[in-house]
Amino acid sequence: MSQPARSPAATPVDTAARKLLEVRGLCHYYDGQSAVSDVSFDIEPGEVVCLLGPSGCGKTTLLRIVAGLEAVQQGELHFNGELLAATDRAHVPPERRSVGLAFQESALFPHLSVLDNVTFGLQQMGARQRNERARELLEQLGMTHYAESFPHTLSGGQQQRIALARALAPSPQLMLLDEPFSSLDARLRDRIRDDTLHVLKKVGAGALLVTHDPEEAMFMADRIVLMREGRVVQVGTPQQLYCEPTDPFVVTFFGEVNCLEGVVSNGYVHTSVGPVATDQPDGSRVQVLVRPEGLRVVEIASTQPHEHHSHVLMARLLGRTSLLHLCAHGTEGQEAHLHARMPGVFLPEEGQPVQVSLDPSQVFVFPVAT
Ligand SMILES: Nc1ncnc2c1ncn2[C@@H]1O[C@H](COP(=O)(O)OP(=O)(O)OP(=O)(O)O)[C@@H](O)[C@H]1O
């Protein structure tokens, strides 16, 4: 029998599989206090990765270490397979890393025109090439008309676009973005975010973006690194984090949840909205986390006046969805105040009897921490 031909991809040096950035076991301390603990993740070429987490969890510290603005105290950084920095080893200085930086405050040079701000990092190019490159980026970001303007005459959103164009001008392989949209009002933020994502994908740059906003992370990221207190809690695609959370913190970080508790019996935990299957051990106490959109609510006619139905406490229209406050009653006497989110306008009267059931894909069971 003949052997299958060996594919060229199986050769020992597999450049196609090379990561753009590898972060391995990074730890960082300020005055002996731990800020980052044993953090590892990768970025593929052209991939947008978001560092997501609450304030103070170490996101900016990590970004600054990758940029070379903080030394590596413990761990390793590799860029395109080459060591950038490691514990107690001289590191490649920031200006020799192929990274572009864009921070919350755009920090444009006030005495330079928009065009000169964008060409600033292109000194090694000829004047014509430099101008062409800058104008190309200004066009991609819809800012061509402002080439001769000075930064103080631009709005915050326009300045942010120029900062992005300046960071992208030298064609860095990796963009580092620290809350670059947080100083913009909501509508402008949506637009600049959208522009940024399209430009990053068009130029094929990898990106590490810091944000504390889960919706922003889901909008921007190919993958999310979710952090808490200096540690990585879960790494995955937005869908994996939202639909397959590995920790209660992951569920709660992505929005409000209803929290129920119960004891597992024969593979089920009985809640005020019915039994929930679980593979947690029998007899163990568990928490059942249910997203408001994971509750299905149907109005029913109450045939018996004393029948103990779940009922509506209050209903509010929030725009695209309606929020119902419910008093839910289980068959075994459990009672809970729950929030349900229904699409469109659904505003039953106070006291309206309802049947409440669960969408299993929005229900997550975890052991109760002892
Ligand atoms: N230069 C510093 N000196 C001392 N402590 C610092 C310094 N920079 C950050 N820290 C501390 O390290 C921890 C992580 O801070 P870091 O700025 O990395 O968090 P973050 O997740 O980016 O927060 P935020 O979203 O609020 O910017 C915090 O407890 C912070 O107080």
Q: What is the CATH number of the domain that holds 225?
A: 3.40.50.300
**What is the per-residue pLDDT for 272?**
87
Co-location of 72 and 119 in the same domain: yes
Contact between 227 and 63 under an 8 Å Cβ cutoff? The reply is no
Among residues 215, 248, 281, the one where a domain terminates is 248
Whether the full predicted model's pTM is greater than 0.90, yes or no, is no
Which residue range(s) make up the domain with 27?
A: 16-248
Question: 200, 224, 248: which is the final residue of a domain?
Answer: 248
Does one domain contain both 159 and 222? yes
Q: Tell me which residue has its CA closest to atom 26 in ligand 1.
A: 55
* CA nearest ligand 1 atom 16, residue: 58
Nearest to 255 by CA among 242, 244, 273, 246: 242
User: What is the number of structural domains in the chain?
Assistant: 2
Q: Average pLDDT in the 63-72 region?
A: 91
Residues 34 and 157 in one domain: yes
Same domain, 306 and 164: no
Check pLDDT > 60 for residue 333: yes
Beta-carbon-side half-sphere exposure of residue 299 (alpha carbons within 13 Å): 11
User: Best mutation site among 29, 30, 177 for ligand 1, i.e. most ligand atoms within 8 A of its Cβ?
Assistant: 30
Ligand 1 within 6 A of 54 CB? no
What's the sign of the alpha-carbon dihedral 155, 156, 160, 161?
Answer: negative
Asked whether residue 94 falls in the same domain as residue 184, the answer is yes
Question: Residue 88 CA to chain centroid, in angstroms?
Answer: 31
- Greatest Cα pair distance, the chain, in angstroms, is 85
Residue 5 lies in a domain: no
Does residue 303 have a pLDDT over 90? Answer: no
- Using most ligand atoms within 8 A of CB, pick from 31, 37, 52, 57 the residue to mutate for ligand 1: 57
- 105, 168, 223 from 239: Cα distances, Å: 30, 28, 9
Q: How far, in Å, is the centroid of ligand 1 from the Cα of 228?
A: 12
| Structural domain contains residue 291 | yes
In a domain, 3, yes or no: no
Q: CB-based contacts of 265: which residues, under 8 Å, 6+ apart?
A: 282, 283
| CA–CA dist 48, 224 (Å, integer) | 9
207: which strand partners?
Answer: 48, 175
How many CA atoms lie within 13 Å of 262's alpha carbon, on the beta-carbon side?
Answer: 29
Q: Please identify, among 213, 248, 283, the residue that sits at the C-terminal boundary of a domain.
A: 248
Q: Could you tell me if 70 and 132 are in contact, meaning their C-beta atoms sit under 8 angstroms apart?
A: no
- Residue 306 predicted with pLDDT over 60: no
The token pair at 3 is 């052997």
Give yes or no: residues 303 and 243 share one domain: no
Question: Given a cut of 90, is residue 120 above it in pLDDT?
Answer: no
Position 140 scores a pLDDT of 81
Higher local confidence (pLDDT), 305 or 194: 194
Shared domain check, 236 and 132: yes
Atom of ligand 1 nearest to the CA of 51: 21
How far is residue 56 from each of residues 34, 60, 110, measured CA to CA in Å? 11, 9, 31
Identify whether residues 242 and 262 lie together within a single domain.
no
pLDDT class for 158, splitting at 50, 70, 90? confident
Please indicate, yes or no, if residue 279 is contained in any of the structural domains. Answer: yes
DSSP state at residue 31: T
pLDDT of residue 202: 87
